Structure 1
Amino acid sequence: MGRENQTWVSEFILLGLSSCWETQFSLFFLFLAMYLVTMLGNFLILFLIRLDSSLNTPMYFFLSVLSFVDICYTNSTVPQMLVHFLSAWKTIPFQSCVLQFYVSLALGGSEFFLLGAMAYDRYVAVCHPLHYTVIMHGGLCLGLAAGCLVAGFMNSLMETIITFRLPLCHNIINHFACETLAVLRLACVDISFNMVMVAISGFLVIMLPCALVLFSYGHIVAAILRIRSAQGRSKAFGTCASHLTVVSMCFGTAIFTYMRPEVDSPAEQKMTTLFFAVVTPMLNPVIYSLRNKEVKSALRRVLRKLNGITSKLFS
């Protein structure tokens, strides 16, 4: 289709996950429940880390940043999706689509960089325990977190500019959100350059943090295997198990999808976006809290404090 057939787009129509009203109604309650669990779990993590001094360590600092990013990422797409489940006409203004595209892509990229920084933190904790507090000082932690966010937002800015400069032939997006590959399908012109940029972006945002994770855990496994006692090895593996679980899910799904975009169907892309926007932010606090004794102990201490305050107020 040539440039002469392109149209001016003032809003987009999102096809969503289903055209069946009964299915949409059921999906609304399912994703509303998941959204509430996500908000509750991540706010609980932020609440515990803020109130319990024993969690004022680099590991939990990065976890708090990850929870904050997950909260923002989920809110960039899920509330609109919930509204559209109950709407007959699923539209989004052009400016809102661009903003959603930019913010969700930026936060998603930032999360991959954060997982890489967290892997480095675990590497220092296991391989250099005596120098951990010296190496992972407050300035470095703040610098790494800020660098992850800046890298994610800069990458997203580049992709947003080159995507929305394309002439568009129609405004129907086969997705529930303004996602990269779904928007590119609307273009009237050859998108080979954009697909190359998607591949480059995927390498920088996904493969480089993944390489850092593999490097860190390679050294971690080697260090753990040198520990003589079985109890010591078990404790060392326990400090990394939660992070490794999240990393495996995120990087595995991202590599499967975005490093081979030409063979992904719209349905696969919807499922991938759902995984990153809904499932991962919901599972992150669950995995970290259920598999971490320190977090559970902190929760018990905070609950005792709150119970004591409540008893004094009503005594």
Structure 2
Amino acid sequence: MTPLRQQMLDAMALKGHALRTQQTYLYVVSQLAQHFHRSPDRVSAAEIHAYFLYLLRERQLAPASLRVYVSAVQFLYTEVLHRPWVDCHVPYPKLPQRIPELLSRSEVQRLLGCTRNLKHYTLLATCYGAGLRVSELLALRVRDIETERAILHIRQGKGGKDREQILTTGLLLHLRRYWLRYRPVDLLFYGPDTQTSLSTSAVQKTYLRAKRAAGITKQGGLHALRHAYATHQLEAGMPVYQLQRLLGHQSLRTTLRYVHWLPHYQSDGGRGIDLLHDVQARA
């Protein structure tokens, strides 16, 4: 490991960046070094500007990806090399504002009904029933299920924050059936052995197979189940501020996008519904 790489790791750790962010930033800096065939600390501001234009025009990176590249390089120069950052004025294309193809409750039920393997079924049911991100789903441990308080603990979610999710009767029923079959000890959803987590790609493939089997042609990967959880709870009358807390959104503006996707939304002040109450496991 080069001294510069170690310095960047130390700086990101002190800033509290998540492991995934650290890995992404290191990859971006390594790409910069490979492009110029020299250490990033020897690349000038003019060359950095030219590199960003190359990413935009030649490689045609998506706006979100380009922003990540800029953030990573800026972090290197300001937090690691302690150099003043020269604003490169990268002409970001506007991010397209599109409403995703939302899954209906009947489509989710059909998707779950086509999932025969109990482990795969419970993975998808938990993602939907608790509105989890894939990283949160794969980080779940047996101790995170608190049946007495009917709480599912989400530890170190996005932004390194803990939160609690309602553990509904329907979701608890599916988790109990899974536990009786597989007897997980630590990791709830383990991979090749009980100490190894499943990979994100493996879970995504599980979702896509189930979607194909259910004859669902709408676009999107596993995150569509989190969108489905949010929209279905709002349709059932859950207040936006409560959904914000359950989803782990730092800003209410992030949660409000779901309201924009539901033109007929009207809160009745309820707690939402048990989305898995009437869903029977066929695995």
Smaller-chain TM-score bracket: under 0.3
Instruction: State the TM-score, normalizing by the size of structure 1.
Output: 0.22
The answer to which structure, 1 or 2, has the higher relative contact order (CA under 8 A, 6+ apart) is 1
Is the helix fraction higher in 1 or 2? 1
